[in-house]
């Protein structure tokens, strides 16, 4: 076949467009092998290529080669594509240089597969031989609408919109129509328009008429004209949604915890109230101890496996043993009466039910083609995960360092262990079964959401547990001698220590980030949108040495730590004592009470006449933690926290990767070590700290993030959101904007220095606006807990006089939600607790029960559960009509 590429592009002298594509004849995606185009004058460029007949389709894009050999790609995220018709030997492709679409979010699977999804159509048989194919991209077309083309020729309706032929949706958002060259005259002028099912015009595209000039004369040739995307001047699309952890849902069918069946009911409620998005927290398996400590959803033991606790027993099937079935129903009633999730009891009985059902049905299930297909398609992760689960139960711990000869993953061994011939296959197959059921149920819910036009949004945790499948089978990707966390923020003055190992990004980059790309692909099985938890971790992560319990003495990685000479250039003479924790006698009373003073001799000794330091037996926070163990009396708690504080009294931290280079301790100006400096030394330390944390790394971290995130965002069609709260480096906004990642915006957590609240009408369009997150107090609890902020908000934001009421009434809650719905963000996503706060009848009277997480507490029990059933919520006609009206009035 002979293919001729045509493009209009005005270049500077010495620059040439070129074509690179997925086949060898176009360089197999290697830019250095891209085929240069020939200048035909007037900004028109052409390239003719011979392609073997067996090639039925390929993808390609254009790039611009400079005189020095460098190349610049088109800015669009999608490649051009060509599909060939059997029997045709000559093709002319007329393209345009792709630019970023005016609303890139609409081109993601959130819209092309859910909100505006259109079924794939095939060319009518009578049009298959027509030579001219006109294509255009337009995702912004409701499911009950279609695209049409009108023009100056009878075949296009002679500009009469009711006669304009419909285009077919071959690969949404791509629309096309086929015309016969012999039936039209040139030049052909045309425009696109959107019509409803009654052929009423919804919108004409803007701008001048499109023109198709005389085409090259060639018998049996096919001409594919791919024009600029639909020119749209309608108001930007905006939608509303709900966020809630899956475990927090409650229905009449659930078994002590939210499950896949409940998620479908939540989608029904979202559809009923004209919401377009449902967001949940991570649902990966977190099982390490079979205790409530496994309730933390961001501490996954597998980046692929789902948590068995989310299986819907109602959808799984019933037991034939009526006595057992009756006992389970009694337990279900007992667990469903509880205000919160009883994690341990729920997991115990749900797993036992699944085991009983598997014993009853295993012969049928294991023979089924669906089960076999699932195992075959997912073997690469399912086998090591199943082996991990087996060893966890065998050794009574998920800490694989305690697994003896199985501590190091041996691929051939675990393949044999998990084979059908293995003596433990009955147990392995049960694990396979659990994941098969979870996948089947979740996929059914995902497909249901798409049919309903609802975006299902997932959550990608930034880390994995240090005792996880991935750290066991792929240890080279992790730094297990460090802990991921966060620097001090509004949640915690001493920072956060999540305990996760940090990533070895150099190894990941060498593997082309395949580990992350596989994670993204797994999310695509269920979601059309996802949130990157702590997206700042792709710029730099807060690393905490394993000797520390708290996060205060961490450091950023990657970073540019100071040399002693650089430190002294700010006017602070370098001294090794800045690295060693100690406390001045004069400051002891600021940390310890008189009662605790009497005990300090066991933990501190004299460094000099004015200072004390920690004894070798307790000179790290981990040693201090071990000494006090689980003691909870007041004196032990005071001593524990006080000694932690002494361990934090340093001004610099040596870089573990570059000895002799140093990080200023974050919040060092608040330390007792800083208080002992001279005024000149204080001034110098403040300058070097401010420069280090707010200026030194900006360009460096921007380049790091682009190197990591660009290939990852380019590997998925999902709509991506980033949780960009906390200590935000300057380049974060630019990188997220460049990569079309939605930011997270909260009114009570403004990103503009000096502001108490965000200005909702001025938020960026490419953002998600919300009233609270799972790490914060829900709306009513926030209102109740901070009287001074409440009063300021009441007067400056709600514009009301007088004293703010102590409780957040439904009227006030409704106004706050309305303000958020009116925000400029593309998405306003409200926690379910906050939606319910707008109703006096439906709101939970125990506002403290609505808190999901307390970040400052690493041992928090994640157990919030909605207090009413989803069936009752679906039946709340008055409340649901109120939400529908609020959303409609906001233009969402």
- pLDDT of 688-742, one tens digit each? 999 999 999 999 999 999 999 999 999 999 999 999 998 899 999 999 999 999 9
What local confidence, expressed as pLDDT, does residue 612 receive? 94
What gap in Å lies between CA 172 and CA 110, rounded to an integer? 12
What local confidence, expressed as pLDDT, does residue 292 receive? 97
Please name the helix (run of DSSP H) or strand (run of DSSP E) that holds residue 369, with its range, or none: helix 369-395
Whether cis (ω within 30° of 0) applies to the bond prior to 65 is no
* Residue pair 444/409 in contact by the 8 Å Cβ criterion: no
* Residue pair 288/467 in contact by the 8 Å Cβ criterion: yes
Query: How many CB atoms lie under 10 A from the CB of residue 597?
Result: 11
Q: What angle do the packed helices 621-628 and 634-647 form, to 10 degrees?
A: 170
> If DSSP codes are grouped into helix, strand and coil, which group holds residue 143?
coil
What gap in Å lies between CA 479 and CA 499, rounded to an integer? 12
What gap in Å lies between CA 300 and CA 318, rounded to an integer? 30
What gap in Å lies between CA 180 and CA 284, rounded to an integer? 54
Please name the helix (run of DSSP H) or strand (run of DSSP E) that holds residue 634, with its range, or none: helix 634-647
> If DSSP codes are grouped into helix, strand and coil, which group holds residue 884?
helix
DSSP state of 638: H
> If DSSP codes are grouped into helix, strand and coil, which group holds residue 112?
helix
pTM: 0.94
Extended beta strands in 734-855, E state: 743-746, 767-770, 827-831
Which residue in 753, 578, 749, 566 sits closest to 677, CA to CA?
Answer: 578
* Residue pair 176/157 in contact by the 8 Å Cβ criterion: no
DSSP state of 741: P
- Residue spans of the chain under pLDDT 70: 76-77
What local confidence, expressed as pLDDT, does residue 183 receive? 83
What local confidence, expressed as pLDDT, does residue 28 receive? 95
C-alpha dist (Å) from residue 547 to 399, 400, 645: 18, 20, 14
Give residues with Cβ within 8 angstroms of 54, minimum separation 6: none
Half-sphere CA count of 328, side-chain side, radius 13 A: 25
Q: Which residues pair with 260 in a beta bridge?
A: none
* Residue pair 478/541 in contact by the 8 Å Cβ criterion: no
| Measured torsion, CA atoms of residues 197, 201, 205, 209, in degrees rounded to the nearest 10 | 110
Query: How many CB atoms lie under 10 A from the CB of residue 619?
Result: 17
What gap in Å lies between CA 258 and CA 278, rounded to an integer? 14
Which residue in 76, 8, 4 sits closest to 39, CA to CA?
Answer: 8
């Amino acid at each position: 076949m002979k293919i001729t590429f045509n493009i209009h592009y005005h270049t500077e002298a010495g620059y040439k467009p070129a074509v690179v594509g997925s086949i060898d004849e176009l360089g197999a995606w290697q830019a250095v092998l891209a085929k240069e185009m020939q200048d035909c004058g007037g900004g028109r460029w052409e390239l003719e290529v011979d392609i073997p007949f067996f090639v039925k389709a390929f993808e390609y894009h254009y790039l611009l080669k400079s005189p020095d050999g460098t190349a610049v790609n088109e800015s669009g995220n999608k490649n051009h594509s060509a599909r060939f018709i059997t029997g045709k030997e000559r093709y002319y492709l007329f393209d345009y240089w792709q630019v970023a679409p005016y609303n890139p979010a609409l081109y993601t699977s959130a819209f092309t597969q859910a909100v505006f999804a259109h079924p794939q159509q095939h060319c009518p048989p009578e049009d298959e031989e027509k030579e001219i194919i006109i294509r255009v991209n337009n995702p912004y077309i409701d499911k009950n609408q279609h695209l049409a083309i009108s023009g100056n020729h009878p075949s296009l309706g002679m500009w009469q919109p009711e006669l304009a032929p419909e285009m077919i949706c071959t690969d949404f958002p791509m629309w096309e129509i086929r015309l016969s060259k012999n039936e039209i005259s040139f030049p052909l002028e045309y425009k696109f328009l959107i019509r409803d099912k009654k052929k009423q015009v919804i919108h004409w595209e803007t701008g001048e008429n499109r023109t198709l000039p005389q085409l090259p004369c060639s018998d049996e040739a096919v001409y594919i004209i791919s024009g600029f995307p639909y020119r749209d001047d309608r108001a930007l699309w905006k939608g509303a949604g709900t966020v809630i952890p899956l475990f927090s849902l409650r229905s009449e069918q659930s078994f002590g915890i939210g499950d896949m069946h409940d998620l479908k009911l939540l989608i029904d409620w979202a559809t009923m109230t004209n919401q377009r998005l449902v967001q949940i927290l991570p649902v990966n398996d977190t099982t390490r101890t079979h205790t409530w400590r496994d309730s933390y959803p961001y501490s996954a033991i597998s980046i692929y496996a789902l948590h068995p606790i989310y299986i819907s027993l109602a959808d799984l099937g019933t037991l034939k043993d009526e006595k057992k079935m009756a006992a389970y129903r009694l337990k279900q009633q007992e667990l469903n009466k509880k205000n919160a999730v009883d994690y341990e009891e729920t997991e115990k009985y749900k797993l036992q039910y699944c085991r009983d059902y598997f014993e009853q049905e295993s012969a049928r299930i294991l023979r089924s083609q669906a089960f076999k297909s699932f195992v075959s398609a997912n073997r690469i992760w399912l086998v090591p995960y199943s082996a991990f689960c087996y060893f966890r139960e065998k050794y009574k711990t998920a800490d694989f360092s305690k697994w003896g000869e199985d501590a190091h993953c041996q691929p051939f061994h675990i393949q044999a262990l998990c084979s059908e011939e293995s003596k433990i296959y009955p147990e392995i197959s049960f694990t396979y079964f659990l994941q098969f059921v979870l996948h089947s149920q979740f996929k059914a819910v995902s497909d249901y959401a798409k049919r309903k036009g609802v975006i299902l949004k997932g959550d990608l945790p930034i880390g994995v547990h240090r005792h996880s499948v991935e750290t066991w089978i792929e240890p080279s990707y992790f730094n297990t001698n460090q802990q991921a966390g966060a620097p001090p923020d509004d949640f915690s003055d001493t920072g956060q220590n999540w305990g996760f190992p940090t990533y070895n990004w150099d190894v990941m980059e060498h593997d082309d980030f395949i580990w992350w790309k596989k994670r993204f692909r797994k999310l695509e099985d269920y979601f059309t949108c996802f949130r990157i938890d702590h997206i700042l971790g792709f710029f730099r992560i807060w690393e905490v040495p394993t000797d520390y319990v708290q996060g205060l003495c961490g450091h950023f990685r990657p970073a540019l730590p100071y040399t002693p000479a650089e430190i002294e250039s700010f006017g602070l003479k370098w001294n090794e004592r800045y690295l060693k924790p100690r406390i001045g006698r004069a400051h002891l009373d600021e940390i310890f009470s008189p009662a605790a003073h009497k005990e300090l001799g066991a933990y501190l000794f004299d460094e000099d006449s004015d200072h004390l330091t920690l004894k070798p037996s307790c000179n790290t926070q981990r040693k201090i933690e071990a000494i006090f163990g689980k003691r909870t009396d007041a004196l032990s708690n005071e001593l524990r926290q006080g000694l932690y504080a002494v361990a934090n009294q340093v001004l610099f931290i040596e870089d573990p990767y570059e000895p002799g280079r140093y990080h200023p301790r974050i919040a060092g100006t608040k330390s007792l070590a800083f208080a002992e400096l001279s005024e000149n030394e204080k001034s110098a330390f403040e300058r070097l700290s401010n420069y280090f944390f707010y200026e030194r790394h900006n360009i460096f971290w921007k380049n790091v993030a682009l190197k990591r995130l660009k290939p990852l965002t380019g590997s998925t069609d999902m709509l991506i959101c980033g949780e960009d709260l906390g200590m935000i480096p300057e380049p974060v906004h630019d990188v997220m904007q460049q990569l079309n990642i939605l930011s997270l915006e909260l009114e009570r957590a403004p990103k503009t220095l000096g502001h108490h609240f965000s200005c909702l009408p001025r938020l960026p369009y490419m953002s998600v606006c919300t009233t609270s997150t799972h790490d914060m107090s829900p709306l009513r609890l926030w209102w109740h807990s901070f009287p001074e902020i409440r009063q300021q908000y009441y007067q400056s934001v709600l514009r009301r006089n007088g004293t703010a009421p102590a409780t957040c009434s439904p009227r006030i809650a409704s106004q706050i939600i309305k303000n958020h719905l009116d925000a400029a963000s593309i998405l306003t996503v409200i926690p379910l607790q906050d939606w319910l706060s707008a109703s006096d009848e439906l709101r939970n009277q125990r506002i403290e029960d609505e808190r999901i997480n307390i970040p400052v507490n690493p041992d928090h029990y994640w157990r919030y559960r909605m207090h009413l059933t989803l069936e009752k919520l679906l039946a709340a006609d008055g409340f649901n009509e109120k939400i529908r009206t609020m959303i409609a009035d906001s233009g969402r």
